[in-house]
Amino acid sequence: PQPVRLAEYTPPAYVVDTVDLHFELGEEWTSVHARLAVRANPDRAEPGALFLNGREMELLEVAVDGRPWPETDYELNEESLTLHGVPEHFTLEITTSIRPQENTALEGLYKSSGTFCTQCEPEGFRRITYFPDRSDVMARYTTTIVADAERYPVLLSNGNRIGAGTLPGGRHWVQWEDPHPKPSYLFALVAGDLARVSDAFTTLSGREVALHIYVEHGNEDKVDHAMRSLKAAMAWDETAYGRECDLDVYQVVAVEDFNMGAMENKGLNIFNTSAILAKPETATDADFQRIEAIIGHEYFHNWSGNRVTLRDWFQLSLKEGFTVFREQQFAGDRYSAPVQRIEDVRRLRTAQFPEDDGPTAHPVRPDSYIEISNFYTPTVYEKGAEVIRMMYNLLGAEDFRRGTDLYFQRHDGQAVTTEEFARALEDASERDLSQFRLWYTQAGTPRIHVDGDYDPEAGTYTLHMRQEIPETPGQRQKEPMHIPIAVGLLDGDGNGLAPRLTGEGERAETTRMLELREAEQSFTFSGIPEEPVPSLLRSFSAPVRLEFGYRDEDLAFLLANDEDLFNRWEAGQELARRALFRAMTAYRSGAEIELEGTLVDAFGALLRGGTGDKALVAEALTQPDESYLADLMDWPVDPEAIHHARRSIRVRLAQALRDDFLYNYRAHQADGEYSADPEAIARRRLKNLSLAYLVAGGDEAGIEAAREQFRQATNMTDRLGALRPMVAEDVAGTGGALESFYEQWKDEAEVVDKWFAIQASSPVYGTLDRIKALLDHPAFNHKNPNKVRAVLGAFARGNPYRFHAADGTAYAFFADQVLHMDGINPQMAAALARGFSRFRRYDEERQRLMREQLERIRREPQLSRDTFEIVTKSLG
Ligand code: HT7
Ligand code: ZN
């Protein structure tokens, strides 16, 4: 397959003003009749032929202005239909026949548990009808759906319902009209037997928007949280960004089989059930928070993505990075901004940093792709959000808001590029972001080396910074980037100074946003009475790897005193990382793993620090996970050393701080009914973290408390809060607990996914034989992406100790699974294949074993474009 290149972008030869779709949904065949008002694009001098994308369909009819178009005047192949000699303006009619019930790729129109539904982003619409399936062709859609009335009483599409009726043979029809022009990727259709839960939202200007959430019958009691979250998101976007909802009806449908979390189709969002259904008995606090974030994310797309859309798929981060940033701000406002930031950074470091440092590294705005579905990546999403956040940091909240207002106002109804976004921010703030634009085009995570130099005589403190951007595939030479680095200085009592750069007058603020632009640059602060401890990259002001030669005591000092809560956490994590790396060295040399006092004292002080900031204490005591440690390790990554060192440190910390954990466990017991408010979530988090340590330390009282909590829990957070450490430590009775858990929850698909994942990611319960047994379990289904993620995804990502078993048996098994999945769902297969992408980070033997499997996958003659791209890039 040939790559598509940004440099080769050309505007469409023809534009489409209106699209009338008529669906006849059937059990064997579904027919789609499309009537398009087409005209030559006035921006193109010689439009020439009309090119339409299309695949996996049977073409039944093509007519231009009511007359069949002769076969001699069109070319049809596996991927497209090209019409030659068409007029300047015309009506094009196309009839296609498709088989949604056989569509296991879950792109285009498919069936999920008997419900017809669509996924058109990025290129699914071309599996429904022949169409210029590109985001810069925007049209007004009218959709008529005809189906069996009994099986499919609910028929939905984008926009407003404008008609309905019954037909002979037990069929019925509904017609929808979407007044907003949109690209084909935002088209949606749903037909099924679904229950509806309704509410309404009144916008700031007094318009009423009807809100409907559709779920399978029996799940109506699990949409309350999603509905509340939706209304909260609608209100938040009005105040935070001045964005009002432009719809009369906002519909959300939950489906079981979905490749991602959710999809922002105009006025008809389609959600993975896992991203919407929640009640305390079946969903954890993390699920509640994830649902709120995803509901918010899809709603925010209504402006950042739908009203202002993309010119082409290279601009994906224009909508995704910006929307993730908006989602993060929303979640931070709803819960706790510093804790949200910690979680965002944790995700960035575990998923994006490794990507940026591996063979599939790409810029936030990629310049070529083989399969665009492979670019819904942590780089486009999470690093893309960091790029927006840096602009926010550089401009400040007010100018940033002026910039986004200008962006929405200038480009409403248009399909644009990241350039338009940057220009709107520049114009609104009078800042120059030319150098900053490199963040869109240069891949790789910058490394910043910082040294501090105190001059007692002059009373100055100088930070010397040096930036390096590593080489990435296809990009050897890099230019220095424009990087906002938020800095504070602490005096010996832990108070924040108000640092002023030499030449500046007095300042009030204790955090300074430095702007690093050169490869090497120094910043000198004056009026510094004693050698300070610097607090660098506060709130993680830029997505970089920063190095500074802190002593362990400095880190403990920052952990105890920094006013920047993110950096308090960061200092604790760095202390923990150091202890872990010392433990790895000890493990590899066969020495005893020691845990010195600094970490124990610092963490003990946190646990004894009262109930002030429970969420932060819990975050600080959460160990970095094994895959993040693998990313930090010098070649070769040693999965065994990581696993054993991490476990030993956990056990030793648990034993050293046993009384503190026990105190915290007891002090944070639940009182009263479950609530998903930030205080209650933080309390459960600290309680269950304490319990996990107690169990890890082998404390009998702790183990008994876990067994008891598992039995008595009235919510899933506490039930899993007990089961997880029981599984991790394999305490007596865990097998029975797992069995009873399944028995109790086997009818709740989302809970069964947790049951699969907890085992697949456990070094004890996720051995290769047990993984194979899980695949044979009656509840497992390769066609359901949630199940595949719960077992195979959790095994590859969450269980590196077993996945990287030295004999390579797990690699061979996993490659078989990739190949099997490729025949079912290429997007999922490609996602799994990424499990091998960083094989060069491992020792020679593991490299050889993984390479062998990658080559075996690549040899498969029918391999999808999706998997082919990941495998070939991984092999380099
Ligand atoms: N914009 C949505 C993208 C999406 C998607 C992409 C590829 C394959 C399946 C998909 N489902 C949804 C998700 C979002 O960012 O909101
Ligand atoms: Zn999105």
* 506 burial type by CB count under 10 A (0-12 exposed, 13-18 middle, 19+ buried): exposed
Distance 202 CA to ligand 1 centre (A): 28
Residue 502: count other Cβ atoms within 10 Å of its Cβ: 12
With a 6 A CB cut-off, is 827 part of the ligand 1 pocket? yes
123 lines ligand 1 (CB under 6 A): no
Give me the residues paired with residue 148 across strands: 171
Q: How far is the CA of 186 from the centre of ligand 1 (A)?
A: 10
* Ligand having the closest approach to the CA of 318: 2
Convert 96-124 into a string of H (helix), E (strand) and C (coil). Answer: EEECHHHCCCCCEEEEECCEEEEECCCCC
Closest CA to 609 of 680, 660, 572, 682: 660
> Structurally, how many domains does the chain consist of?
2
Region 188-210: mean pLDDT is 98
> What's the pTM?
0.98
Name residues whose C-beta falls within 8 Å of residue 360's C-beta, 6 or more positions apart in sequence.
Answer: 374, 377, 473, 834, 837, 870, 873, 874
Active-site hit among 93, 298, 355, 426: 298
Nearest Cα residue to 11 out of 311, 276, 216, 376: 311
Q: How far apart are CA 555 and CA 563, in angstroms?
A: 14
Distance 7 CA to ligand 1 centre (A): 24
> What confidence category does residue 670 fall into, taking pLDDT thresholds of 50, 70 and 90?
confident
pLDDT band at 610 (very low <50, low <70, confident <90, very high): low
Ligand nearest to the CA of 269: 1
**Would you state the structure tokens that stand for residue 806, as one six-digit string?**
């030295």
**Is 524 a member of any domain?**
yes
In whole angstroms, give the CA distance from residue 683 to residue 611: 9
Q: Is the CB of 264 under 6 A from ligand 1?
A: yes
**Any idea what the CATH number is for the domain that residue 11 is in?**
2.60.40.1730
The radius of gyration of the chain's CA atoms, rounded to the nearest angstrom, is 28
d(CA 329, CA 709): 34
pLDDT tens digits along 401-410: 999 999 999 9
Q: Does 756 reside within a domain? A: no
Over residues 843-865, the mean pLDDT reads: 98
The verdict on residue 501 lying in a domain is yes
Do 15 and 137 form a contact (C-beta atoms < 8 A)? yes
Return the C-alpha torsion angle 13, 15, 19, 25, nearest 10: 30
**Interface predicted TM-score (ipTM):** 0.99
b (16+ CB within 10 A) / e for 393-426: bbbeeebbbbbbebbbeebeeebbbbebbbbbbb
> In terms of Cα–Cα distance, which of 576, 588, 687 is closest to 638?
588
Average pLDDT, the chain: 97
pLDDT of 478 higher than 60? yes
Ligand 1 pocket: which of 106, 107, 121, 272 to mutate (most atoms within 8 A of CB) = 121
The whole-angstrom separation of Cα 486 and Cα 253 is: 42
Question: 446-468 burial, b for 16+ CB within 10 Å, e for fewer?
Answer: bebebebeeeeeeeebbbebbbe
Q: For ligand 1, atom 14, which residue shows the shortest CA distance?
A: 263
Mind giving me the DSSP string for 313-328? Answer: GGGHHHHHHHHHHHHH
Tens digit of each residue's pLDDT (9 = 90 or more) over 490-535 = 999 999 999 999 999 999 999 999 999 999 999 999 999 999 999 9
d(CA 822, CA 837) in angstroms, rounded, equals 17
Whether the CB-CB separation of 52 and 82 falls below 8 Å is answered with yes
**Ligand 1 within 6 A of CB of 866:** no
Find the ligand nearest to 321 CA. 2
Last residue of a domain, one of 168, 191, 214: 191
Residue that finishes a domain, picked among 485, 515, 549: 549
Q: Is residue 73 part of a domain?
A: yes
The answer, yes or no, to whether residue 611 has pLDDT greater than 60, is no
pLDDT on residue 609: 86
Instruction: Say whether 298 is catalytic.
Output: yes
User: Does the residue 156 lie in any domain?
Assistant: yes
Tell which of 549, 567, 590 closes a domain: 549
Percent of the chain with pLDDT over 70: 100
Read off the CATH number of the domain in which 501 is found: 2.60.40.1840
At 46, the pLDDT band (50, 70, 90 cuts) reads: confident
For residue 282, is pLDDT > 80? yes
pLDDT band at 613 (very low <50, low <70, confident <90, very high): confident
* Structural domain span for residue 543: 447-549
Q: How far is the CA of 209 from the centre of ligand 1 (A)?
A: 24
In a domain, 664, yes or no: no
pLDDT at 45: 83
Per-residue pLDDT at 865: 98
Q: Is 383 a domain residue? A: no
Is the CB of 327 inside a 6 Å radius of any atom of ligand 1? no
The alpha carbon of 387 and the centre of ligand 1 are apart by a number of angstroms equal to 20
Distance between CA atoms of residues 706 and 566, nearest Å: 31
CB of 567 closer than 8 Å to CB of 558: yes
Q: Is there a domain that residue 527 lies in? A: yes
pLDDT tens string 320-359? 999 999 999 999 999 999 999 999 999 999 999 999 999 9
Please tell me if the CB atom of residue 121 comes closer than 6 angstroms to any atom of ligand 1. yes
- Closest-CA residue, ligand 1 atom 11, reads 260
Cβ partners under 8 Å of residue 461, min gap 6? 452, 453, 454, 455, 489, 499, 524, 525, 528, 531, 532, 534
- As given in the structure block, the two tokens for residue 234 are 């609608």
Q: What pLDDT, on a 0 to 100 scale, did the predictor assign at position 612?
A: 66
Confirm or reject: Cβ of 298 under 6 Å from ligand 1. yes
Are 113 and 255 spatial neighbours (Cβ–Cβ below 8 Å)? Answer: yes
